[in-house]
């Protein structure tokens, strides 16, 4: 028995930021060392993601997690008792083996990711170090450049606009603390601008403003105006960042931009985005084309990959093999890393490392359904991802993560290195 030997594993049902049930796992090592983590949940999911196990039926809209909780308590718990929580690889391999399916549908991605993350927390607690430090190993911690939503749309705002996230990246900030301060000013200015135009209508799922606008492009313009109104220079201080989430727009092989009354083929989408790149200070575009439009992703990356970060989310689903495949073909130049898309921390980290090996940008990301769990803040720092995407600058499930990075930056003091603009795979 070492200090990191697992004594017990248990799960409970808790609730996420959309009021939906989710899984919390708790791992005990000995008497009083505990690690705890909660699974997040997506709304615009890629088809290749690990599947959450949900109960189905009428109660809770079919989203119940009784089966996932039982999977932890009845299958995972007995198998993990006695293993070493500090051996993340072996533990995650055990979880994968116990599940036995390619999409984690037997035990549930939600059950598995909660346990995998809880083990890391428990091991860190046993060592008496913060999670980021436990994850870091050798090397210097890296404070991530944040990507922060100003407007939310797509599947997170009843398709009020087609674009899912219109965000800012404070590329000119000197520290994480300054990056958040600048973003707070821009978020305030955006809200004030909407209110002045009679368009302020609350917030979408991740805390960005509900986009009561007349076209997709209007949110790009509004964001630039907000950056200027807050006293900053668009592009130099804060750049725009978009998540098109284009898989959601594709039907019958074409892209449907409802708000603009347009139906575009892959080339049309590419031309539209190249036009936006010419006219707006955009530093990053995620899922510019659908997960099954690899030819489009390759063509767009050939056209724009030298001047903008192109992130694969639905297309890569935090999978190392997919990252290697995409890198070999020149589709994308950055990977979004969502632990619950992969299912285990080890698999998520492998996807991130594959991205780094390709010279790509790497972004640790939250989901649209989140909780007070702050694991991803530590992953971003400890894995030296360079970038962190959490949603907007409102709602405590988002602020909990931003505030956790602030604490880490403060604790590091002069040793804190802020990734800043250098985190982008494109230098300009």
- Residues carrying an active site annotation: 206, 338
Q: What is the CA radius of gyration of the chain?
A: 21
- Residues 215-234, one symbol each (x = binds ligand PGA by CB under 6 A, - = not), give --------------------
Q: Which does 42 bind (CB under 5 to 8 A by kind): ligand PGA, Zn ion, none?
A: ligand PGA
What distance in Å separates the CA atoms of residue 242 and residue 164, rounded to the nearest whole number? Answer: 8
Quick count: other Cβ atoms within 10 Å of Cβ 219?
25
Is residue 313 part of the contact set for Zn ion (CB under 5 A)?
yes
- The least distance separating ligand PGA from the CB of residue 402, rounded to whole angstroms, comes to 17
- Partner whose binding site includes residue 368, from ligand PGA, Zn ion, none (CB under 5 to 8 Å by kind): ligand PGA
Helix (H) or strand (E) holding 291: none
* Six-digit token string for 246: 């284009």
* 410 Cβ neighbours under 8 A, 6+ residues apart: 177, 416
Tokens describing residue 29: 């090592």
Residue nearest to Zn ion (CB): 313
362 binds ligand PGA (CB under 6 A): no
Q: What angle do CA 419, 424, 427 make, to 5 degrees?
A: 110
Measured from the CB atom, is 313 or 404 closer to Zn ion?
A: 313
Dihedrals φ, ψ of 261, to 5°? 60, 35
Please check whether residue 109 is in contact with residue 117, taking contact to mean a CB–CB distance below 8 angstroms. Answer: no
Residues 286-305 touching Zn ion, rule: CB under 5 A, are: 286
> Could you tell me the sign of the dihedral formed by the alpha carbons of 268, 269, 271, 272, in that order?
positive
Of the candidates 24, 206, 217, 243, which one interacts with Zn ion according to CB under 5 A?
A: 243
The yes or no reply on residue 367 touching ligand PGA (CB under 6 A) is yes
Which of 147, 243, 373, 409 is close enough to bind ligand PGA by CB under 6 A?
A: 243
| H helix intervals, 172-318 | 176-196, 216-229, 266-279, 294-304
28, 37, 174, 308, 374 from 118: Cα distances, Å: 9, 5, 33, 36, 12
Helix (H) or strand (E) holding 307, with range, is none
Asked if residue 43 binds ligand PGA (CB under 6 A), the reply is: yes
Judged by beta carbon, residue 88 or residue 164, the one nearer ligand PGA is 164
Q: Assess 114 for contact with ligand PGA (CB under 6 A).
A: no
Closest to Zn ion by CB, 213 or 366: 366
| Contact code string over 146-185 relative to ligand PGA, x by CB under 6 A | ---------x--------x---------------------
Is position 84 an interface residue for ligand PGA (rule: CB under 6 A)?
A: no
What is the contact surface with ligand PGA in residues (CB under 6 A)? 42-45, 155, 164, 243, 245, 313, 365, 367-368
């Amino acid at each position: 028995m070492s200090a990191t030997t697992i004594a017990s594993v248990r799960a409970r049902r808790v609730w996420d930021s959309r009021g939906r049930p989710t899984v919390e796992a708790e791992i005990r090592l000995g008497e009083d060392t505990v690690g705890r983590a909660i699974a997040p949940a997506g709304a615009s999911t890629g088809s290749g993601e690990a599947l959450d196990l949900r109960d189905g039926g009428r109660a809770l809209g079919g989203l119940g997690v009784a089966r996932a909780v039982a999977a932890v308590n009845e299958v995972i718990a007995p198998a993990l008792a006695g293993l070493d929580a500090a051996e993340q690889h072996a533990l995650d391999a055990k979880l994968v083996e116990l599940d036995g399916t390619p999409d984690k549908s037997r035990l549930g991605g939600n059950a598995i990711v909660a346990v995998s993350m809880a083990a890391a927390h428990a091991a860190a607690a046993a060592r008496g170090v913060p999670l980021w430090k436990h994850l870091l190993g050798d090397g210097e911690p890296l404070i991530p450049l944040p990507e922060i939503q100003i407007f939310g749309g797509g599947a997170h705002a009843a398709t009020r606009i087609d674009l899912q996230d219109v965000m800012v990246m404070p590329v000119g900030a000197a520290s994480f603390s300054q990056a958040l301060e600048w973003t707070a000013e821009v978020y305030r200015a955006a809200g004030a601008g909407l209110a002045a135009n009679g368009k302020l209508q609350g917030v979408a799922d991740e805390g960005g403003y509900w986009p009561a606008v007349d076209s997709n492009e209007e949110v790009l313009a509004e964001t630039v105006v907000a950056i200027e109104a807050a006293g900053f220079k668009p592009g130099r201080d804060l750049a725009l960042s978009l998540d098109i989430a284009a898989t959601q727009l594709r039907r019958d092989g074409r892209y449907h931009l409802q708000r603009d009354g347009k139906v575009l083929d892959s080339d049309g989408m590419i031309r539209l985005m190249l036009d936006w790149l010419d006219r707006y200070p955009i530093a990053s575009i995620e899922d510019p084309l659908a997960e099954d439009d690899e030819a489009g992703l390759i063509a767009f990356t050939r056209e724009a990959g030298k001047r903008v970060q192109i992130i694969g989310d639905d297309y890569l689903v935090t999978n190392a093999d997919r990252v290697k495949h995409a890198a070999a073909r020149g589709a994308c130049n950055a990977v979004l890393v969502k632990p619950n898309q992969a299912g285990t921390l080890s698999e998520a980290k492998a996807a991130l490392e594959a991205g780094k090996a390709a010279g790509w940008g790497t972004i640790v990301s939250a989901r649209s359904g989140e909780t007070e769990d702050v694991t991803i803040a530590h992953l971003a720092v400890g894995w030296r991802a360079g970038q962190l995407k959490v949603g907007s600058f409102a709602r405590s499930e988002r602020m909990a993560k931003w505030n956790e990075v602030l604490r880490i930056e403060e604790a590091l003091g002069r040793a804190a290195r802020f990734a800043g603009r250098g985190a982008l795979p494109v230098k300009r």
